[in-house]
Amino acid sequence: MTIVLPTTTAGSLPKPSWLAQPETLWSPWKLEGEELVAGKRDALRLAVDDQRQAGIDILGDGEQTRQHFVTTFIEHLDGVDFEKRETVRIRNRYDASVPTVVGAVSRPKPVFVDDARFLRAQTDRPIKWTLPGPMTMIDTLYDGHYRSREKLAWEFARILNEEARELEAAGVDIIQFDEPAFNVFFDEANDWGIATLERAAEGLKAETAVHICYGYGIKANTDWKKTLGSEWRQYEGTFPNLQRSKIDIISLECQNSRVPMDLIELIRGKKVMVGAIDVATGTIETPEQVAETLRHALRFVDADKLYPATNCGMAPLSREVARGKLKALGAGAAIVRKELAA
């Protein structure tokens, strides 16, 4: 049975306070060793349960086993020194202390494959797994070895492809690459960013998605958004080439954002994850507000290609707010589903 308007999230959900300090990015773990391994799994199960209770159709792990959507993956690679830190400007927006690429990068062993297998065992529903995209990875690092953003991106694409193939074999239905950097570096995205993304997705039978947003609801991002003017047309820079790419699903931010919805026309034919939940506010949407965003999106994307979702990850929110937002998403999609069936 195919699900109409299958709901899903951008990926992350807040962690329980016994696992990591809530409402914080890069929040350090509160457990160690075996306890940490078990704690992450328990948190994953709770994240699955929250999604299930909210009526979310395509389930994720809530990114409970990672500290950060980019850094954790990189931590598992050889060639990157986490002790050697440099301050770099991320997404042209805020400074962060990041690790350094000191030699050839490689993936000595799978990063998330066991976690994905664990998620697979929790549910019969379709599951989605998130990975950082090559361009967003290089934007979260200091490169003291390749000294070329493009070269390093191709290396990461190869590594991501290895991981993605194993995730697929573990039973993941959709593999999503997070590329918020596509909303900032348009020329690079078009020159090699989309090509490296396709390399990361090469040969997969699982569906592939790319998530492009305006970031988490943290101050650096909300300040940046204030400078973007009344119409946010960033997607215009990459959508034409993404429309021609092999990626199946494009995930974008729509709720409370100034993105003109008709930009979705530029990716005609693709499936679209429409962000109908704002992650930059603690105010919980009403189901009707979610429904209204989805109805609007339906003017530009066919119903069988619309996936109601969140604008971005909910990791930095409180658990209570995130649960409320998940429920609003599920209920809002249900309203529109009924209208479509009528």
Which residues make up the interface to ligand MET (CB under 6 A)?
10-12, 63, 69, 130, 178, 180, 211, 213, 215-216, 312-313, 315
Other Cβ atoms less than 10 A from the Cβ of 74: the count is 23
38 with 339: CB under 8 angstroms? no
Looking at beta carbons only, is 63 or 207 nearer to ligand MET?
63
Burial bucket for residue 299 (CB in 10 Å: 0-12, 13-18, 19+) = exposed
Q: How far is the CB of 13 from ligand MET (least distance, A)?
A: 8
CB of 211 to ligand MET, least distance (A): 6
Q: Of 10 and 274, which has the nearer Cβ to ligand MET? A: 10
Quote the least distance from Cβ 176 to ligand MET, whole Å: 7
Residue nearest ligand MET (C-beta atom): 313
Dihedral sign (CA 284, 286, 290, 296) = negative
> Is the CB of residue 82 less than 8 Å from the CB of residue 75?
yes
Which is closer to ligand MET, CB of 308 or CB of 313? 313
**In the complex, least distance from residue 102 CB atom to ligand MET, rounded to whole angstroms:** 26
Distance CA 45, CA 123 (A): 10
Q: At CA 205, angle to CA 201 and CA 210, rounded to 5?
A: 40
What minimum distance in Å lies between the beta carbon of 214 and ligand MET? 9
- The whole-angstrom separation of Cα 240 and Cα 266 is 6
Pick 275 or 332: Cβ nearer ligand MET: 275
CB nearer ligand MET, residue 131 or residue 336: 131
- Pick between residue 99 and residue 313 the one whose CB is nearest to ligand MET: 313
d(CA 277, CA 254): 8
Judged on CB neighbours under 10 Å (0-12, 13-18, 19+), 58 is: buried
Contacts of 41 (CB under 8 A, 6+ apart): 65, 118
Smallest gap from residue 62 Cβ to ligand MET (A): 9
Q: Which CB sits closer to ligand MET, 119 or 315?
A: 315
Contacts for 148 with CB less than 8 Å, ≥ 6 apart: none
Minimum distance from residue 11 beta carbon to ligand MET (Å): 3
